[in-house]
């Protein structure tokens, strides 16, 4: 028995070391870290930690213990929340939907700006805890009331669960602004990644809701705005850059829409949608809408493969505009509020921001745009995160704060 008791811990340690070594080698072989990205060595370490968590999550998923992203989210949320002097944080429920309310501690003689925040994470990761520092800092620096929404995530909950939760919680907040000391004329919708896409979608929805206060502005931080074209310049240039690789993005896409991952090749090559669909949306998604300077790191126009009918039948839900706000019709998009759009150079979905910026400007919607030359997807989540803090996250935070103050 003593021998077994010694062997098992040793075997577990050897196995764990083997997993770590395998993750590191795979990272070196499959992921790119450009030299001029913000803190490349730090990003390499962060990526290895993330991939290690995903790998252990995959092992636990194979053993039937928990889902891979559930494990990663569990570990992410173990870290205690940092306290920010002057900010009062309260956990509430809007109906059945959990939210975090951030309010300045100092009373105000007049109603404050209200911000509804939707966190990113590809619909499978991210939480109110991962974005706590960002929301608290926004509250503190802008003297605003912030509501962060905890929506149901994939793969347990499929599309449109996230949309319904965010819509329901936002409507609840908009109908009770007086209770939170918020000025109805100064409500902003804000989000990062898929949360940015949600902010854009809800701004479009509220165009036809005269019963609710009019949204003052939208803040879209490296937002996910379309899920049809996976061959745009930024997809080709940044598909292997952490923290959003093409493999992870595709996994998130399949989890959210309940699509089998076996269609990956057909989807990537555009064989899952009919030619008439591509033609319909080309005016908004075509690479000619992206400035040439964003193609200089390498872009090749590639013909799409002929339609695969089976792939189309399974994935046609992707053409739903509520999932891809970039393809909403002009009569809706032309009425959305002014936007602050932040894009990052080393981001798989950088083109989403560029394309939506052009659409808004073409339709006369005021846009403030900032491009972070050394930024990457998800960087803002790590603001004030100790060793894993990246300087460009503060730059983005300052951009957002200044935009809010100038409204």
- Report the distance separating Cα 323 and Cα 337, nearest Å: 19
Q: Is residue 10 predicted with pLDDT exceeding 80?
A: no
Contact by Cβ (8 Å): 186, 407 = yes
- Report the distance separating Cα 390 and Cα 107, nearest Å: 33
Overall residue count recorded for the chain in this entry: 407
C-beta neighbour count of 17 within 10 angstroms: 10
Contact by Cβ (8 Å): 286, 301 = no
Q: Is residue 5 predicted with pLDDT exceeding 70?
A: no
- Quote the Cα angle for 324-328-333, to 5°: 120
Q: Is residue 213 predicted with pLDDT exceeding 60?
A: yes
Residue 4's pLDDT band, with cuts at 50, 70 and 90, is low
Report which secondary-structure segment, H or E, holds 147.
strand 145-149
Residue 117's pLDDT band, with cuts at 50, 70 and 90, is very high
Residue 377 annotated in active site: yes
Tokens of residue 262, six digits: 């076996």
Q: Is residue 357 predicted with pLDDT exceeding 80?
A: yes
Alpha carbon dihedral 386, 391, 392, 394, in 10-degree steps, equals 70
179, with CB counted inside 10 A (0-12, 13-18, 19+), is: exposed
The string of pLDDT tens digits covering residues 13-29 is 877 898 999 999 999 99
Cis peptide leading into residue 160 (ω within 30°): yes
The 3-class SS string of 80-112 reads: CCCCCCCEEEEEEEECCEEEEEEEECCCCCCCE
Q: Which residues are CB-contacts of 61 (< 8 A; sequence separation ≥ 6)?
A: 67, 68, 71
Q: Taking the alpha carbons of 47, 52, 58, 64 in that order, is the dihedral positive or negative?
A: negative
pLDDT at residue 169 in the model: 98
Residue 392's pLDDT band, with cuts at 50, 70 and 90, is very high
6-to-2, 13, 19 alpha-carbon distances in Å:
6, 11, 20
The string of pLDDT tens digits covering residues 232-275 is 999 999 999 999 999 999 999 999 999 999 989 989 888 899 99
Residue 3's pLDDT band, with cuts at 50, 70 and 90, is low
The string of pLDDT tens digits covering residues 315-351 is 888 888 888 999 999 999 999 999 999 999 999 999 9
Q: Is residue 373 predicted with pLDDT exceeding 80?
A: yes
SS3 at position 116: strand
pTM summary value: 0.96
Place of tokens 């449109």: 160
Residue 7's pLDDT band, with cuts at 50, 70 and 90, is confident
**Which residue out of 131, 256, 370, 377 is catalytically annotated?**
377
H runs (alpha helix) in 269-308:
275-285
| pLDDT mean across residues, the chain | 94
Query: What percent of the chain has a predicted confidence (pLDDT) above 70?
Result: 99
Q: Which residues are CB-contacts of 310 (< 8 A; sequence separation ≥ 6)?
A: none
Q: Is residue 1 predicted with pLDDT exceeding 60?
A: no
pLDDT at residue 11 in the model: 74
Query: What percent of the chain has a predicted confidence (pLDDT) above 90?
Result: 86
- Report the distance separating Cα 172 and Cα 227, nearest Å: 28
Please, what are the domains in the chain? Answer: 41-78 (no CATH), 86-407 (3.40.50.1820)
145-149 vs 97-104, strand pairing mode: antiparallel
Tokens of residue 94, six digits: 């809007």
**Which residue out of 47, 154, 193, 232 is catalytically annotated?**
193
Cis peptide leading into residue 405 (ω within 30°): no
pLDDT at residue 2 in the model: 53
pLDDT at residue 303 in the model: 86
pLDDT at residue 232 in the model: 95
The string of pLDDT tens digits covering residues 139-166 is 999 999 999 999 999 999 999 999 999 9
- Report the distance separating Cα 143 and Cα 113, nearest Å: 8
The string of pLDDT tens digits covering residues 39-92 is 999 999 999 999 999 999 999 999 999 999 999 999 999 989 999 999 999 999
**Which residue out of 38, 192, 229, 347 is catalytically annotated?**
347
- Report the distance separating Cα 359 and Cα 3, nearest Å: 69
* Mean pLDDT along residues 28-34: 95
How far the first Cα of the chain sits from its last, in Å, is 71
């Amino acid at each position: 028995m003593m021998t077994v008791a010694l062997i098992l811990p040793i075997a577990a340690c050897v196995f764990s070391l083997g997993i770590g070594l395998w993750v590191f080698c795979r990272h070196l072989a499959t992921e790119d870290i450009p030299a001029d990205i913000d803190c490349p060595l730090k990003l390499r370490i962060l990526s290895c930690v993330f991939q290690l968590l995903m790998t252990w999550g995959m092992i636990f998923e194979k053993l039937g213990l928990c889902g891979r992203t559930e494990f990663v989210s569990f570990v992410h949320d173990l870290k205690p929340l940092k306290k920010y002097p002057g900010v009062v944080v309260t956990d509430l429920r809007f109906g059945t939907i959990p939210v975090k309310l951030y309010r300045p501690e100092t009373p105000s003689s007049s109603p404050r700006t209200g911000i509804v925040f939707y966190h990113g994470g590809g619909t499978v990761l991210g939480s109110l805890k991962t974005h706590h520092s960002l929301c608290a800092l926004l509250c503190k620096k802008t003297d605003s009331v912030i509501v962060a929404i905890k929506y149901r995530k994939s793969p347990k909950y499929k599309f449109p669960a996230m949309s319904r939760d965010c819509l329901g919680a936002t409507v609840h907040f908009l109908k009770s602004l007086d209770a939170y000391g918020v000025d109805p004329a100064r409500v902003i919708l804000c989000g990062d990644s898929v949360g940015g896409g949600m902010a854009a979608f809800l701004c479009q929805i509220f165009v036809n809701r005269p019963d609710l206060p009019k949204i003052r502005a939208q803040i879209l931080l490296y937002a996910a705005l379309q899920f049809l074209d996976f061959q745009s310049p930024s997809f080709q240039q940044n598909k292997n850059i952490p923290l959003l690789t093409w493999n992870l993005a595709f996994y998130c896409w399949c989890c959210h829409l309940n699509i089998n991952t076996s269609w990956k090749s057909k989807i990537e090559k555009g064989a899952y949608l009919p030619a008439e669909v591509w033609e319909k949306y080309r005016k908004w998604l075509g690479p000619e809408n992206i400035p040439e300077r964003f193609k200089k790191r390498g872009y090749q126009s590639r013909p799409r493969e002929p339609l695969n009918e089976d792939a189309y039948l399974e994935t046609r839900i992707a053409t739903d505009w509520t999932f891809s706000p970039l393809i909403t019709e002009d009569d809706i998009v032309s009425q959305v509020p002014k936007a602050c759009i932040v894009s990052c150079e080393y981001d798989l979905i950088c083109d989403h921001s560029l394309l939506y910026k052009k659409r808004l400007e073409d339709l006369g919607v005021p846009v403030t745009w900032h491009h972070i030359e050394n930024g990457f997807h998800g960087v803002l989540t790590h603001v004030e995160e100790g060793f894993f803090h990246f300087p460009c996250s503060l730059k983005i935070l300052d951009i957002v704060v200044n935009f809010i103050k100038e409204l």
